[in-house]
Amino acid sequence: MTAPVFVVERMPTGPEFVLDGPEGRHAVSVRRLQPGEDVVLTDGLGRWAEGVVHAAEGKDRLTVALRTGVREEPEPAPRITVVQALPKGDRGELAVETMTETGVDAIVPWQAARCITQWKGDRGAKSLAKWRATAREAGKQSRRVRFPEVADAATTKQVAALLADADFAGVLHEDRDHDSTPLATAALPAAGSIVLVVGPEGGVSPQELAAFAEAGARPYRLGRSVLRTSTAGTAATALLLGRTGRWG
């Protein structure tokens, strides 16, 4: 079994590190780690170090003896960003969780025209915080040391600008009669950035498709079946990771 991952505000600089606060409490009281067990400390930004539990004190304090110096995971290439239309209920957190576990690099919440869910005021701020907390926890669970960035909610105009700057820009489109290409056969870049838009349950509106096409994004489909918005991004991420060699 791989060592559990714990997030630290600052990477350790000496031979030992004290893990306390919520992460220390989780390690001692939930994971019940004992001296001699392996752990990984990370800042979630790509830097990490391996260690072994030296001592557990109280309910929220763990002393870790470092086995390695701080290492840094290289930036992924190509970088994969999924623009996720806001799903209903807790399906947004489900989408973030599974995309994080799969290996997406960035998630952009999108208030599409046909979204039932509306992020406004305090509700929007709380929902965004939930998405970010979900990405952090899923990153730890999946043993990642570089967690995906969850951006602020974007407008259609902002999404179009993001697509215009990408090396590969696409929109998942569920209409079989639409002039779309299978994502499985699309020509993908070996480096740079891939940005893929996942629309809401009601689909991407013609006006949004036109704006994205003007930005250089083409429509793509995953297969014969139509996936829910909360699962389409995960399936597409897995496909892209396999086709670009990042799962090699």
Q: Which two tokens stand for residue 156?
A: 């259609």
N- to C-terminal Cα distance for the chain? 21
pLDDT computed for residue 43 by the predictor: 97
pLDDT tens-place string over residues 114-128: 999 999 999 999 999
Mean pLDDT in the chain?
94
Residue 98, C-beta contacts closer than 8 angstroms, at least 6 positions apart? 138, 231, 234
For 70-110, the pLDDT digits (tens) are 999 999 999 999 999 999 989 999 999 999 999 999 999 99
- The confidence score (pLDDT) of residue 198 equals 97
Q: Rounded to the nearest 5°, which phi and psi values hold at 168?
A: -140, 125
CB 36 within 8 A of CB 9: no
- The answer to whether the beta carbons of residues 76 and 40 sit under 8 Å apart is no
- Residue 124: per-residue pLDDT: 93
Distances (CA, A) of 223 to 149, 172, 176, 181, 213: 28, 10, 9, 10, 21
Residues 53-69 have a mean pLDDT of: 91
pLDDT above 60 for 159: yes
List 17's β-bridge partners, or say none: 64
Residue 247 CA to residue 76 CA, distance in Å, equals: 11
pLDDT tops 90 at residue 209 = yes
How far is C-alpha 108 from the geometric centre of its chain's CA atoms? 9
Residue 90 φ/ψ region, left for φ over 0, alpha for ψ in the -120 to 50 degree band, beta for the rest: alpha
What integer is the mean pLDDT of 176-186? Answer: 80
Structure tokens at 13: 């600089």
- What does the pLDDT read at residue 176? 55
**Coil, helix or strand for 192?**
coil
Which pTM does this prediction carry?
A: 0.94
Confidence of residue 140 (pLDDT cuts 50, 70, 90): very high
pLDDT band at 178 (very low <50, low <70, confident <90, very high): low
What band does 2 get if pLDDT is binned at 50, 70 and 90? confident
Kindly report, residue by residue over 25-47, the tens digit of the pLDDT: 999 999 999 999 999 999 999 99
Q: How confident is the model at residue 59, as a pLDDT?
A: 87
Residue 183 tokens, joined: 């994502």
Lookup: tokens for 245: 């060699």
Give CA 50 to chain center in angstroms: 23
What is the percent of the chain with per-residue pLDDT over 90, rounded to a whole number? 87
In the chain, the amino acid numbered 30 is V
Residue whose C-alpha is closest to residue 77's, from 189, 177, 184: 189
- The token pair at 193 is 């950035």
Among the listed residues 95, 87, 227, 78, the one whose alpha carbon sits nearest the alpha carbon of residue 150: 95
Distance CA 24, CA 61 (A): 5
Token digits for 214? 């003007």
